[in-house]
Structure 1
Amino acid sequence: MPTTKRKYQGTNNSFVFSNVSGQPVIFRPTGVNRYFTVCSTEYLALGGGGHFALYLDGDLLTGSSATSETYGNSCLAHTEDFEVKEVELWGFVYASKYEEMVSILRTETPGICRW
């Protein structure tokens, strides 16, 4: 759930990627820290340790990307600061939980993340 506190979540199974070069490049956690994902009422960010690998403002209209210690990534976009064209978030659930998750998603108030 979005919160006003800065609390990281996630596991080392997370990753970030870029397709800027025309070839997908995946960046997996370096093990330096556990700053995988942080979701607040003001922003959504992946990575950390000086800079976020990916940062999206709460209105989902602007973002930024820089090298993060978490993923050892280069900038994931053409420029460090950018305007967002489209947001697509994916999540996976066990098949046995599918109907339960669909039911929850139909009743939740829209927001920038659902944990």
Structure 2
Amino acid sequence: MGVAYSVGEVDHLYTFFVQWSPEINTKDKKKACRPRYIVGEKNNNRYLVLENDKVDAINKLLIKHDTPAANNWQIITVHDSKRRQSVCSSEGSEVGESDDDLLPVLCDHSHLLDDQHLERIAVHMPARTKGYPWQLAYSTVVHGTSLKTLYRNMAGLDNPVMLVIKDMQNKVFGAFSTEPFRVSDSCYGTGETFLYSFSPDFKAYRWSGENSYFVRGHLESLQIGGGAGGFGLWLDADLNHGASFSCPTFHNQPLSTQQDFVVQDLEVWTLQN
């Protein structure tokens, strides 16, 4: 079995694959794209899960170049992973037919998210986050309404977070951030950050590439996406009022039915590893 590694180290293994055998990740000499993989975990051990036709090639590659990764990771197929997936779920639970079916497993009760919400969001989350449980880091129901408390609860974390908002019109929307929310003099985050909305139908707004105004935290506000005078999502210091405008970062539509909205409930979930 593999040894325990942080989620980020999967990217180092991916870089090795591309460096030593780019043909595995390319097709018709087009630009390389990231292979479909997920990280599985059981009994504190982790393993990389790839599509069936990639496993033999990757195993031979690791052995050929005598890389330490060959000793530290177990490469298995998606089919084999079905019998191992048990994070925060009962041993008798069924596993879906693909890695897209591995929903974010919430280890705490959510007042805002159900399985239908999670099914839609999961498709757009980075592959490296799949198969891991999510823990409630902040909730207005539990912790009150304070941006300072939200930042305080994020202190010391180094994992992606998922923001979920329900406004007074009962519309659910939010953002996935690759970094926890914090006060900063500059913007932070990566191109995996995205906005989403269930108003009226689900839609995710991914990075457009026009700028890198992903997330910026102030004591008096939290901003996600920006440029051209508007924020993709903005929240005030009391987490009571918010706003959502179209912005160049995500080319999004306003996430709520109203550009200025009042928050009914808000939750922030963090990846647990």
**Which residue in the other structure is 1:108 paired with?**
none
Between the aligned residues of both structures, percent identity stands at 33
Paired AA for residue 55 in structure 1:
W
Gapped regions of structure 1 (runs ≥ 5):
96-115
Q: Per-residue displacement from partner, 1:4-49 (whole Å, max 9, x unpaired)?
A: x4x111000100001111x210000000000001111010111001
Task: Find the partner of 1:34 among 208, 212, 215.
Answer: 212
1:15 equivalent in alignment to 2:205: no
Q: CA deviation at 1:91?
A: 2.3
Of structures 1 and 2, the one scoring higher in RCO (CA 8 A, sep 6+) is 1
Task: Find the partner of 1:56 among 228, 231, 235.
Answer: 235
Paired AA for residue 25 in structure 1:
K
1:44 equivalent in alignment to 2:225: no
Take 2:269 and 2:250, find their aligned partners in 1: how far apart are those partners? 19
- Residues paired across the two proteins, number: 91
Q: CA deviation at 1:92?
A: 1.7
Take 2:193 and 2:221, find their aligned partners in 1: how far apart are those partners? 18
> Larger helix proportion, structure 1 or 2?
2
1:2 equivalent in alignment to 2:183: yes
Take 2:188 and 2:203, find their aligned partners in 1: how far apart are those partners? 23
Give RMSD over aligned pairs: 1.1
Paired AA for residue 219 in structure 2:
T
Paired AA for residue 202 in structure 2:
P
Take 1:61 and 1:29, find their aligned partners in 2: how far apart are those partners? 27
Paired AA for residue 49 in structure 1:
G
TM-score (norm 1): 0.75
Larger radius of gyration: 2
Paired AA for residue 209 in structure 2:
G
TM-score (norm 2): 0.32
